[in-house]
């Protein structure tokens, strides 16, 4: 089986009738960069930068530490896309170095972009590190846990400030770096048309989108049977977002676990999803599934 899949390396992700979809890979630790290269993925569709903040309990990662890691990924991938998601901390990803405090309802609490916009120096440090790495490959920035247009606009103001600083310091960066958002909340689904006029690309985080749509804590096994990623409400949302994004001529991917669900691959291709981003070991199996579709 594994050997059969190996034969698919270098092959296109194309159905029998010629429909194409990109396959990228998700990474959540430094060592995964190697796994992505081995997997023959078309790029890194989701770089979960949180690990940088979780590996040291005493100190936030410095700009230099972050820059080195982002640069490593950018150089390793060459011309292939590397989508770096800004820190998605809080909720199920507690970082000891930040001391986020106790919350009754962490999934609905202080997390993701909310922390970044609140801790603006920490956010700017990360943006500077990503910008500096952007000249070493094909890097873009993705914002997590978006619920409003204002959050995106504030993040972009911060990005402009980081760019201005680097310019003043005569440090190189990609002036046209793309900015995308994750669709992880029903609010983001409903305003996806407006968001599409504000950013360059989208990625649906089906893990959180399922949680917030079905009102089921993704960590709570007791109510696990209510966590149904095939729920018609979720599939309908995926379709709505895809249409809204495409009306503005922008790209859309899926990077949650559902991207690897082979029973839905045909549906994703039919509605026009541009890219699926899965774990490195899932890349070739997904390619096989796509190539078997009529």
Provide the annotated binding site for phosphoenolpyruvate. 48, 85, 207-208, 218
Q: Is 61 one of the binding residues for ligand PEP (CB under 6 A)?
A: no
Cβ neighbors of 90 (< 8 A, separation 6 or more) are: 100, 106, 109, 110, 111, 112, 114, 115
Active site residue 255: yes
Q: Of 183-222, which residues contact ligand PEP (CB under 6 A)?
A: 184, 205-208
Binding site for Mg(2+): what residues are annotated?
Answer: 184, 208
Cβ neighbors of 7 (< 8 A, separation 6 or more) are: none
Find, among 86, 88, 106, 90, the residue nearest to 98 by Cα.
Answer: 90
DSSP H or E segment with residue 46? strand 43-48
Helix residue ranges, H only, 106-185:
113-118, 120-133, 149-168
Find, among 241, 143, 124, 275, the residue nearest to 199 by Cα.
Answer: 143
DSSP H or E segment with residue 54? helix 50-54
What is the smallest separation between the CB atom of 233 and ligand PEP, expressed in angstroms? 16
What is the smallest separation between the CB atom of 99 and ligand PEP, expressed in angstroms? 21
Q: Is 261 one of the binding residues for ligand PEP (CB under 6 A)?
A: no
Q: Is 88 one of the binding residues for ligand PEP (CB under 6 A)?
A: yes
Q: Is 280 one of the binding residues for ligand PEP (CB under 6 A)?
A: no
Q: Is 205 one of the binding residues for Mg ion (CB under 5 A)?
A: yes
Which positions lie near ligand PEP, rule CB under 6 A? Answer: 46, 48, 88, 184, 205-208, 255-256
- Return the active site residues: 255
Which positions lie near Mg ion, rule CB under 5 A? Answer: 184, 205, 208
């Amino acid at each position: 089986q594994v050997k059969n899949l190996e034969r698919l390396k270098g092959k296109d992700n194309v159905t029998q009738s010629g429909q194409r979809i990109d396959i990228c890979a998700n990474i959540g630790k430094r060592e995964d960069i190697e796994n992505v290269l081995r997997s023959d993925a078309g790029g890194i569709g989701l770089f979960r930068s949180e690990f940088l903040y979780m590996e040291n309990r005493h100190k936030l990662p410095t700009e230099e530490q972050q820059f080195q890691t982002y640069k490593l990924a950018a150089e390793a991938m060459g011309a292939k896309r590397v989508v770096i998601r800004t820190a998605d901390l809080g909720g199920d990803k507690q970082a000891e170095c930040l001391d986020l405090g106790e919350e009754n309802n962490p999934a609905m609490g202080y997390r993701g972009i909310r922390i970044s916009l609140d801790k603006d120096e920490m956010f700017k440090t990360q943006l500077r590190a990503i910008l500096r790495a952007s000249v070493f490959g094909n890097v873009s920035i993705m914002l997590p846990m978006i619920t409003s247009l204002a959050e995106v606009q504030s993040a972009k103001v911060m990005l402009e400030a980081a760019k201005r600083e680097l310019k003043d310091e005569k440090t190189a960066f990609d002036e046209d770096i793309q900015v995308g958002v994750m669709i992880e909340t029903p609010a983001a689904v409903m305003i996806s048309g407006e968001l599409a006029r504000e950013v360059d690309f989208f990625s649906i985080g089906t893990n959180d989108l399922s949680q917030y749509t079905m009102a089921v804590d993704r960590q709570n096994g007791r109510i696990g049977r209510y966590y149904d990623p095939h729920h018609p409400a979720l599939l309908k949302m995926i379709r709505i977002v895809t249409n809204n994004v495409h009306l503005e001529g922008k790209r859309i991917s899926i990077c949650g676990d559902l991207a690897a669900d082979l029973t839905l691959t045909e549906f994703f291709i039919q509605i026009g999803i541009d890219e699926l981003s899965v774990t490195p070991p899932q890349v070739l199996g997904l390619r096989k599934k796509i190539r078997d579709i009529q």
